[in-house]
Amino acid sequence: MNELYRPVGAFYKEDTCHFVVWAPKKESVELVVTHPYQKIYPLQKDDAGYWQATVENVTPGLRYLYRIDGEMQRPDPASLSQPEGVHKASEVIDHNFSWTDDSWKGIPLEDLIIYELHTGTFTQNHNFEGIINKMDYLVELGINAIEIMPIAQFPGSRNWGYDGVYPYAVQNSYGGVNGLKRLVNAAHTKGIAIILDVVYNHLGPEGGYQSDYAPYYTQRHKTPWGNALNFDDAYSDGVRNYFLQNALMWLDKFHIDALRMDAVHAIVDYGAKHFVQLLKEEVAKLEKKTGRKKFLIAELDLNNPRYINPQSKSGYGLDSQWIDEFHHAIHAVLTGETDGYYEDFGSLQQVEKAFTDTYVYDGIYSPHRKKIFGAPVGNNDYGKFVVFSQNHDHIGNRALGDRLTQTLSFEALKLAAALVIFSPYIPLLFMGEEYGEKNPFFYFTSHSDPDLVNAVTEGRKKEFSYFSFKYDFPGPQEEDTYRQSVLSWNINGNEHAAMFRFYKAIIQLRKTLIALQNKERDSMKVYPVNDNKVLTIERKNGEESAFIIFNFNEEKKDYTLPAETSCNKIFDSSAAQWNGPGEVTPLTINVTKSFSLNPYSTIILQPLKQA
């Protein structure tokens, strides 16, 4: 690795701690120990602008600050722990941990069944321990990957996580460094991978002191959060290193399996080697060193395959990408909402296109954006894309934080789930959807600056004013907003239990039905929807095939399979075992014979073997 790239922070080992902080334009940096004793140590600067000192007789728990140019005292920008919050001293942490996951090698990307959760609202524990306590439940459901919303230290004790200001520090109220390691270790023991949501496109508005050390921001580029982080201007090497080392720390020291990178389109970098390409190259080296699979998953508000194209084709080589348009297409059709960013959606032909082409807008005109948008995905296989019918953004950014359970019928909810799970893409569930959770998921904060609180509240009202919401957003700062967002875990009611059984069954089918295992681009045929409001896809894997039929009609529909083959029905979402209205589709479908489909239903047909 280039000598400009090196680990930063406080590195404890056997009663000694080595401190490294980047401040290239400063005249002096001193280490100020505040607990368990008070002492000041000078740091020495090297040619790359890194200040360093090694201190002996250190014990974990030592609190420290840096004094810059003999004046301001600030926490360590690469702090591992902020036990008193974002404005107080940093803490030295011992990274030693008794791992028991030596046999863990990871899970292939295309096999992931992802469950997105927010640590603070997943359980009444509001911490990592609460997630550990639900591990057997997730295993029973069929989940093999947990995606944790950002846990970098943020102001106060409640936040979505995207206001984090210490990317290296694990939120203290969640359980800190050891709490996260216990969670990862427990997950691997159960055969579950851990995906961590990280934010490298901005830092939160309260408690981020990086600019007091170095040019972490540039005025050359703007983002929705203000000046962009400095990935390509003067002194950008130190900024690139700061986030590069952070990613490698999570994947190495914490045994994290993958990073979901928030809004990578807002990582503005016009350099010869984009930051995400550099990161992918270094992660590939780590993967080789550890013998474990390590993935980078991009959230990308651009239909641009360059981010996932291999570097041999001038791409950045990221492993996977979230696909919002799959969500938008099915949401608009099932709910009838066509305002805000749903303006571009609302027809079943767009659901069809989301299956055939992945990107709905792939070089065609977008009414919402008022321009031609996107490019074709090329030959990137289906297993490189993550899809969902709900997630934190598309629930929390609604006026009432309402889930699909507040809008759709029970049968339509099952149809939405089947579209995701039976697609060839990587499915993602948002916590609680598997049993029909009805509690909202709001946006919430706990900032300490009243002016900032007001600015955030007004900013959200303005940002989402193009939606036709009839109500005001609940105050993000109100504790009750947070409390209402905690899962109810009401899974014993008749419908809730049936929904859980349904999700469990379709996940098991996804894992075991041979025809669903192929993710190559030529492994699926999508039949035109036309005017019958029925979408049929044919999944193929070698000699095995299956027809999956999704009925979007509000009433019973007579339908003829658009293929000359007789089939057995092996799945029907209308079955009584998941509180359906009862099956109307026969167990055997004869060639060219029409058959009935229940409203908002999904069936799977398997062609009869030729004698």
CB distance 389 to 420 below 8 Å: yes
Does 263 show up as a binding residue in the annotation?
A: yes
Copy the structure tokens of residue 419: 């579209």
262 annotated ligand binder: yes
Tokens of residue 570, six digits: 């092996």
Q: How far apart are the first and last CA of the chain?
A: 61
H or E segment to which residue 167 belongs = strand 166-170
List the structure tokens of 518.
């192929």
**Pick from 430, 433, 418: which is nearest to 539 by CA?**
418
Q: Residue 202, annotated ligand binder?
A: no
Q: Is 392 annotated as a binding residue?
A: yes
What values do phi and psi take at 65, rounded to 5?
-135, 170
Asked about 299 being catalytic, the answer comes back as: yes
Give 3-state DSSP helix, strand, coil % of the chain, rounded to 5.
30, 25, 45
- Number of neighbours of residue 378 by Cβ within 10 angstroms: 13
Catalytic residue from among 237, 299, 433, 572: 299
Q: Which of 262, 269, 319, 352 is catalytic?
A: 262
Which tokens sit at 365? 């005109």
301 is known as an active-site residue: no
Is residue 187 annotated as involved in ligand binding? no
CA distance 334 to 447: 37
- Residue 321, classed as helix, strand or coil, is strand
Would you say 368 is a known binding-site residue? no
Closest CA to 54 of 22, 97, 16: 16
Annotate 336-397 with DSSP letters as a single string. Answer: ---SGGGGG---HHHHHHHHHTS-S-SSEEETTTTEEE----TT--GGGEEE-S--HHHHHT
324 has binding-site annotation: yes
Q: Is 396 annotated as a binding residue?
A: yes
Tell me whether residue 11 is annotated as binding.
no
What is the helix (H) or strand (E) element at residue 165, kind and residue range? Answer: none
CB–CB of 72/46 below 8 Å?
no
Distance of alpha carbon 516 from alpha carbon 524, whole angstroms: 9
Q: E strand or H helix at 544, and its extent?
A: strand 544-551
Q: How far apart are CA 434 and CA 491, in angstroms?
A: 9
Is 564 labelled as part of a ligand binding site? Answer: no
Torsion angles phi and psi, residue 211, rounded to 5: -70, -20
Alpha-carbon distance 125 to 118, whole Å?
12
3 has binding-site annotation: no
Task: List the catalytic residues.
Answer: 262, 299
Residue numbers belonging to the annotated binding site for substrate: 260-265, 324-328, 392-397
Residue numbers belonging to the annotated binding site: 260-265, 324-328, 392-397
